[in-house]
Each structure stands twice: as C-alpha cells, then as structure tokens.
Amino acid sequence: MPAPEYLDPRLTEHRNPRTERIDVASPLEIVDLINSEDATVAAAVHREREAVARAIELTVAAFQGGGRLIYVGAGTSGRLGVLDASECPPTFGTPPELVVGVIAGGLPALVKSQEGAEDDVTAAAAAMDRERVEPRDFVLGIAASGTTPFVRAALSRAQTLGAVTGLVSCSDPPQLLTGTCDVLILPKVGPEVLTGSTRMKAATATKLVLNTITTGAMIRMGRAYGNLMVDLMAWSDKLRDRSERIVMECCQVDRGAARRAIEAAGGSAKLAIVMVKKGLAKAEAERLLQQAGGFVRRAVGDPPPVTEARGRR
C-alpha cells in the first residue's frame, strides 16, 4: 500500500511518536519531553564528526588562500549563520569580512520572519554575485530540511563561480547537492517535538556544528594559546577584564603590569604575552610572532597549566 499523500519524506517533517500527546501534558512534563529530545542532539552531531573536521580543513584552506567562509541560509538557519559570523570578530579578532552570513530576505529577516524569501532563487544567485564569491571562498549552505530553494540556488551559483561548497542539513538533501557539494554535514536529529519546528533540535544541532567549524578553524589558524582566546577584541569592560586576566595568568604579572603591557601592544593580549614573556619591544614581538605563524605557543613555549578556581565559602 502506498504511503498517504500527507506524509512528507523529509525527516524534519516527520511526526514524533514520543510527543504525540504533548498538548495534554503538564508544564513539567513538557519540559521533560523537550529535554529528553534535546539530549539526543549531541550524539547526532558526533556521528558527523569526520564531515565537521573536513569542513574545518576547508575553512582553514580558504583563510590561508585569502578567501572567506560564507554561510547561506533562510529563516532560523540563516539567522544561525549570521549569528556565528557576527561572533567571530569579538572572539577571535578577525575582520568582519572573513566570516560572512547571508540570509534570505536580508537584514530585515534577522528580526522579522520573511518566510517567502526562502523561495527566491533569483535573489540567492544575486546574493552570491553581490558577495563577489570566488574560487578561494568556502560557501556553506544551511538548510534544516535540505531542500530550501534559496540555499540550493546560492550553492549552485557559488559552484558556477568556482567556490568550494558544503551543506549542513538535518535531512537527506536532494541528489543535486549530494553530488556537487565538497562536504555534507548531516546531523539527523529526527522528528521535532512539534512537527516541522526546526528551530528546536535541528537548530541546536546546527549551532553546535557552526560553532565547531569556526572555533576549530580559528584554533588551527593560531588564534588560541592553549584554550585561551588570546586574539579576542576588548570592546567591553568584560572583554578588557578577560584580556588582562589572560596576560596575568600567562605571564605571572599583576593586573597593572598586564594592563600596561596590553596598552603597549596596541590592545592585543596576544602580542602583550609575547612582549612580556620574551622581554621584547612591540616591533620585535610582532616579528617573532610572525615567524611563528601567529602561534603564541611556537613563539614563547607552552601556556601555564590550568589552575582550578575555588568557589567562595
């Protein structure tokens, strides 16, 4: 017997038998149902570990070749791409054009749903042209269902322009993308708590994947010292405090000395560490860091071991 017409083949559109009575559940039962479904997301992402690692390699290759990582998505997927891109400059000190987020419907879609925009294939191709996509770029499409027309068209145009391409999806994509993308990352989290609401498990899985790709790529580019984000941009009191504490810990100096070193380094905690640990002036420290490929560990040796913080009594 053929399947009923109302059954969608996309995994993200399937009904979840574990939550079919959620509409009569108590608040605590709803919390438990959602939490139990969320608990499956990390395992789904882990199953895609090799593909995520490949995406990190492609991102690093793009950066080393003077290219960019460009996310493309619609709706929640597009917002997640823009979010991850926007967090790279303050976290890793990167220029805003290094990681770019393209969302169907443009900036207005970030704060107000523009659902029809996901079907505009002409706008998708135009977006790739507007971003001046070229062969040294890595364009990563994000589409929970794997079938979003805007994402498919953007990837097709990016491939025509010679770019490396990939796709993050929580359902099997069409053969057109399977056969043409350089990497496919498919964390299949299964049916949502609410059927088709991919802002839930699919979005959580997507955020985990994107965070891992950019963080992994930045680490491989020398933008961490141990697990310290020494290339952060101190644009707020919190980040200035973090920069000073990083220098204090790495160089075993007090806050005043750390602050002076960062000022002498032009605001760079990374450079300040090299200056203090090697006793160098700014220009000499810059040369040493450049010779080390931007890696602090190569320039000054290992970071200090982790000191466990003790809570106040």
Residues facing residue 184 across a β-bridge: 167
> Of 189, 276, 177, 174, nearest to 225 (Cα)?
276
- Which residues lie closer than 8 Å to 259 by C-beta, 6 or more apart? 244
Identify whether 87 is a catalytic site residue: yes
- Catalytic residue, candidates 37, 48, 118, 131: 118
> DSSP 3-state helix, strand, coil percentages of the chain (rounded to 5)?
55, 10, 40
CB count within 10 Å of CB 161 equals 18
Q: Residue 246 in contact with residue 296, Cβ under 8 Å?
A: no
Q: Where are the alpha helices (DSSP H) in the chain?
A: 27-38, 41-46, 49-64, 75-92, 121-130, 149-160, 175-178, 201-220, 237-251, 255-264, 269-278, 282-291, 296-300
Residues facing residue 242 across a β-bridge: none
- Catalytic residue, candidates 13, 57, 87, 286: 87
d(Cα 249, Cα 186) in Å, to the nearest integer? Answer: 40
Q: Which tokens sit at 114? A: 């523009």
**Measured in Å, how far apart are the chain's first and last C-alpha atoms?**
68
What b/e string do you get for 240-276 counting C-beta neighbours within 10 Å, with b at 16 or more?
A: bebbbebbbbbbebeeebbbebbebbeebbbbbbbbb
Identify whether 118 is a catalytic site residue: yes
C-alpha distance from residue 73 to each of 86, 116, 150, 233, 276 (Å): 15, 13, 7, 27, 44
What are the catalytic residues? 87, 118
